[in-house]
Amino acid sequence: MFTQRNMSGKFVLVTGATRGIGRRFAEHVVNAGANLVLVGRSEERTTRVVSRLLKMNGAGMVCGEICDLMLQSDVHDLADRYRNRYGRLDVLVNNAGAIFKQRKITHEGYERTWALNHNAYFALTTLLYDLLLQSAPSRIVNTASVSHRMGRIYWDDLQLRKHRYLWGWRSYAQSKLANVLFTRHLAHLSRKSQVTVNAVHPGWVRTGFSKNNDFLTRLGWFLSTPMQRSDVKGAETLVWASLSEEAEGLTGQYFVNCKSREPANRAKHMGDAARLWEISESLMDLPIIS
């Protein structure tokens, strides 16, 4: 239970809202009466979800934008379109993420887990940061994971060319640790503004999370579903961090079950957070936030 802040006339942008946690989050945004822009990679799925959300008759508009977040070129186009079409951003939720059992490189040269789970968060946020500043008080919420506790950053091998990929787990854990480091450094950079930045672990949630993988992996995921929470429950902390009065002013935090929790020691290393920021900025052609 929380007190919802007044979302009338506000703009919320959420990635990965065609299924799972993001889709449930989107329903809350519509109920709250805000304007919702959701990002999907499939035109068909995105249109279907937008139509369903429009039937809820929320007070705000609901629009879909198509983007393959694994690709930097697509993220740049998305940010340009967003700016031209909507011109205001009160809440940015970086949520789309995945694990891939097989290591593959995008045609832009990034390992795809890193491309989707870290690069897209970093690029979309920095490209739209000026809008968040203009719309402040505004919020950035990043879906991370408890898996960040098993992660480390392979500074000389971010794309895991040399280290074993471990069926995607090493890359996934690295990317989720990067989500928390990114959150903490951006909160530090934003400390004099009214932009807050937080990370969320949604719990272990029954979603389409393992769908990109082979039959045995999907079967393993399916068999564990009785132990997982529903997507409605899984979206709760994201909703709380994005829409509640209680989260107002909280920044640089890692939330689990709508409460602030200590992340892993590795995620608290501000030197590493700054280093990751510098590397990401230098690898991608992005505006500088200082």
* Interacting residue ranges for ligand NAP, rule: CB under 6 A: 16-22, 40-42, 45, 67-70, 95-98, 116, 143, 145, 201-202, 204-205, 207-209, 211
Check if the beta carbon of residue 138 is closer than 8 Å to that of residue 195: yes
Q: Closest separation between CB of residue 37 and ligand NAP, Å?
A: 13
Q: Closest separation between CB of residue 134 and ligand NAP, Å?
A: 26
Name the active-site residue from 82, 110, 129, 172: 172
Q: Closest separation between CB of residue 167 and ligand NAP, Å?
A: 16
Cβ burial, residue 262 (10 Å; 0-12/13-18/19+): exposed
Annotation marks residue 82 as catalytic: no
Pick 170 or 201: Cβ nearer ligand NAP? 201
The neighbour count for residue 211, using CB atoms within 10 Å, is 12
Q: Closest separation between CB of residue 18 and ligand NAP, Å?
A: 4
Pick 138 or 145: Cβ nearer ligand NAP? 145
Task: Quote the CA–CA distance of 107 and 73 in Å, as a whole number.
Answer: 11
Pick 135 or 175: Cβ nearer ligand NAP? 175
Check if the beta carbon of residue 97 is closer than 8 Å to that of residue 143: yes
Task: Quote the CA–CA distance of 201 and 204 in Å, as a whole number.
Answer: 9
Pick 96 or 276: Cβ nearer ligand NAP? 96
Task: Quote the CA–CA distance of 88 and 12 in Å, as a whole number.
Answer: 9
The catalytic site residues sit at 172
